[in-house]
Structure 1
Amino acid sequence: MNSSCTSNSTSTTLTALARRQGGVVLRRQAQQAGLTRDQVRGLVQRGRWQALHQGVYLTGGFAPDRPPPLLARLWAAHLRCGPSSVIALGAAARVQRLAGLPPEMPYVDVLLPRGRHPRPDLRLRLHIAALAPGEVVRLRGLPVTAPARTLADLLLRIPEDQALSLLDSALHQGVLPDLAEVDRAVRYRPGADRARCLLPLADGRAASALESVSRLDCIRGGVPPDDLKYRLLDGRGRQLARTDFCWHRGLRRPLLGDADGRGGGGSSGGRRLPPGDYRLLRFTWADASEPGRVAGLVRTALEELRIRPRPARSR
């Protein structure tokens, strides 16, 4: 490792071990490889190792003024809690690259079997749960709840907009071919009815959490899109552009919606679309973070574009 006081064999052993564990080693592992407790303490004091938990160290590739890498945090939590522990909930969703959760992760969720009680740690949130065969996978050697179990656990705990974003992301990225396994994993658990109501709303065509949240607001507001990923075509049927949402039933011209995070409630900003006989709305996170705002913008535009029957002429 990064110390003149370590032999070549010790350095090679620890480097290989850290590579398998996201850059993290236990003090016990370092001592088994040949370091003394004082040598470990010296590496930490000189800033060459970083203590992530008591007796758990990140051995390199970190910036002291920045959070540790995600994989290192998760490996540190697993090593801290023992070989029977499994990374779960939001931590599992993040390492599986499911989009829709807040960027901050103040603690790592860890599942433990009954009878395991590690010392409390504010950087960890511990859960006692039994996992069925197939509900644990290994990502780069790290035990993590399988995607269906991860989603089922989260659906019961987080807001609906985040939950739908995660479901959309799982389908969009091909993490799951469908949500039947999630349905089985969540069924009969407390709060299952609410969670299962979201499953039919999920759509893998959504490419971002902003799309998912905007669509959910429209569904709640009674103005669900008629189409997703609407294609603008020229006279020869060639695609000119694609928008996230389209409303067209009973309208004089289509209403298009784009959740690109750059425009406003109007038609300026964001990516440019070719001129055409349509109305365009753009939605941002500022719109989506205010419940009912996206649906309200759509409802107002629909009223303006709705085909109204002509009044009968009086004889």
Structure 2
Amino acid sequence: MSRPARVPSRLAFLPFSARAAVAEGLISRSMLRGPAWRRLLPDVYVHRDGYRADDHRMWCDAVGLTLPPGAVVGGLSAAYLWGVQLVARDSPVTVLIPGNSRPRARPRVRYTLATLSAGDVTRFGGLPVTTPLRTAFDLGRKAPRTEAVVAVDALLNRRLVKPAALSDYLAEHPGWPGVALLREVLGLAEPLSESPMETRLRLLLVDAGFPGPTVQHDVCDARGHFIGRVDLAYPRLRIALEYEGDHHRERAHFRQDVARLNALRAAGWLVLRFTADDVLLHPARTLALIAHAIQERRTHLDIRGVTRRA
């Protein structure tokens, strides 16, 4: 029985340029036509063990081998490389190119004309990429507003960007497309927001005229002992608003949630829990539920001599 051909370590998992690999004698053109290799882009291949159709990092690495001079990975793809995962699994890689470039259209790539200074670009894992600051500047200028706030919140939360630095960068680029939107986004941004859905739930409330909730509020019992941290809160009314992601379905996490929820209720807190469907598909119903809870709590606390303010 013949042994399978040994795969050179440099070609084992990462995308590579076929032309360069053949020139170095690492592989032959005939071998690339075999079942062990996947063609990602013209002249770009990856071994089948390294192929993941929905791996955005793999596609960034592949596209990086085809970048024209001066081009960089930017937008949501840059955010992904910095650890902010907001791209859909099948999204093309965002590439920013100088205004004088006209690259040929390629699959899995979205080219955008951009003006970049030397300070806007750095390298990540061998790829030219926009800095976190420039990435936040670009994403915060891109409609729709909610998604712009989601992106800026995520970059701020990971401490990749500071609000003051983004404000200064904005002031240095007056007249750029979308800067009016970014000013609004900065007014709404919340560095403590820990997930995109928390941001969307918060904006749903703010846009509907509700009082702005406190983000990541620590709840203590009557003796000052820490009970837990809630996503969003109206502390005076003891109302907590929680987003329930898929991780809450894990058995260990579910048990912790039950104990935490019981402790919050024992401390007099009303906890409302919402899913992505509640925020995205049924916003009116969600707002009505929260409005009812606020009114009920206000009425209850008024009887006990507490002012009517969330």
TM-score range, shorter chain: 0.7 to 0.9
**Offset, 1:183:** 5.6
Q: Is the 8 A contact 1:260 1:284 kept in 2?
A: yes
The answer to whether structure 1 residue 80 and structure 2 residue 66 are counterparts is: yes
Aligned twin of 2:102: 117
Match of 1:190 among 177, 200, 203: 177
Q: Is the 8 A contact 1:221 1:292 kept in 2?
A: no
Using a 3 Å threshold, how does the CA distance of structure 1 residues 141 and 289 change in structure 2: closer, same or farther? same
Q: Is the 8 A contact 2:221 2:227 kept in 1?
A: yes
**Offset, 1:127:** 1.8
Q: Is the 8 A contact 1:168 1:202 kept in 2?
A: yes
Secondary structure in 1 matching 2:271: strand
Identity of aligned residues (%): 27
Q: Count matched residues.
A: 286
Using a 3 Å threshold, how does the CA distance of structure 1 residues 305 and 47 change in structure 2: closer, same or farther? same
Q: Deviations over 1:230-273 (max 9, x none)?
A: 22222321101221122144xxx42121122379xxxxx99231
Secondary structure in 2 matching 1:207: coil
Aligned twin of 1:54: 42
Secondary structure in 2 matching 1:81: coil
CA–CA distance in structure 1, aligned partners of residues 99 and 181 of structure 2: 28
CA–CA distance in structure 2, aligned partners of residues 158 and 67 of structure 1: 28
CA–CA distance in structure 2, aligned partners of residues 143 and 215 of structure 1: 34
Structure 1 residues 58-69: aligned runs within 5 Å:
58-59=46-47, 61-63=49-51, 66-67=52-53, 69=55
Aligned twin of 1:305: 297
The answer to whether structure 1 residue 246 and structure 2 residue 233 are counterparts is: yes
Secondary structure in 2 matching 1:126: strand
Q: Is the 8 A contact 2:78 2:130 kept in 1?
A: yes
Aligned twin of 2:207: 220
Aligned twin of 2:154: 169
The answer to whether structure 1 residue 146 and structure 2 residue 131 are counterparts is: yes
Q: Is the 8 A contact 1:255 1:280 kept in 2?
A: yes
Aligned twin of 1:31: 22
Using a 3 Å threshold, how does the CA distance of structure 1 residues 41 and 128 change in structure 2: closer, same or farther? farther
Instruction: Give every structure 1 segment of 4 or more consecutive aligned residues whose post-TM-superposition deviation is greater than 6 Å.
Output: none
Aligned twin of 1:209: 196
**Offset, 1:161:** 2.2
Letter in 2 for 1:97: G
CA–CA distance in structure 2, aligned partners of residues 227 and 219 of structure 1: 12
Aligned twin of 1:237: 224
Using a 3 Å threshold, how does the CA distance of structure 1 residues 158 and 94 change in structure 2: closer, same or farther? farther
CA–CA distance in structure 1, aligned partners of residues 74 and 285 of structure 2: 33
The answer to whether structure 1 residue 282 and structure 2 residue 282 are counterparts is: no
CA–CA distance in structure 2, aligned partners of residues 41 and 113 of structure 1: 37
Using a 3 Å threshold, how does the CA distance of structure 1 residues 191 and 129 change in structure 2: closer, same or farther? closer
**Offset, 1:145:** 0.9
CA-based RMSD of the aligned residues comes to 3.0
Q: Is the 8 A contact 1:84 1:112 kept in 2?
A: yes
Match of 2:245 among 239, 261, 269: 261
| Structure 1 unmatched runs, 5+ | 264-268, 311-315
* Structure that is richer in helix per residue: 2
CA–CA distance in structure 2, aligned partners of residues 226 and 130 of structure 1: 38
| Structure 2 unmatched runs, 5+ | 249-254, 304-310
Q: Deviations over 1:107-143 (max 9, x none)?
A: 1111122333332113211122221121111111111
The answer to whether structure 1 residue 42 and structure 2 residue 31 are counterparts is: yes
Match of 1:96 among 74, 82, 86: 82
CA–CA distance in structure 2, aligned partners of residues 160 and 295 of structure 1: 19
CA–CA distance in structure 2, aligned partners of residues 182 and 122 of structure 1: 35
Secondary structure in 1 matching 2:150: helix
Q: Deviations over 1:56-102 (max 9, x none)?
A: 11135324xx4163222112112123353211112111111124x35
Q: Is the 8 A contact 2:73 2:129 kept in 1?
A: yes
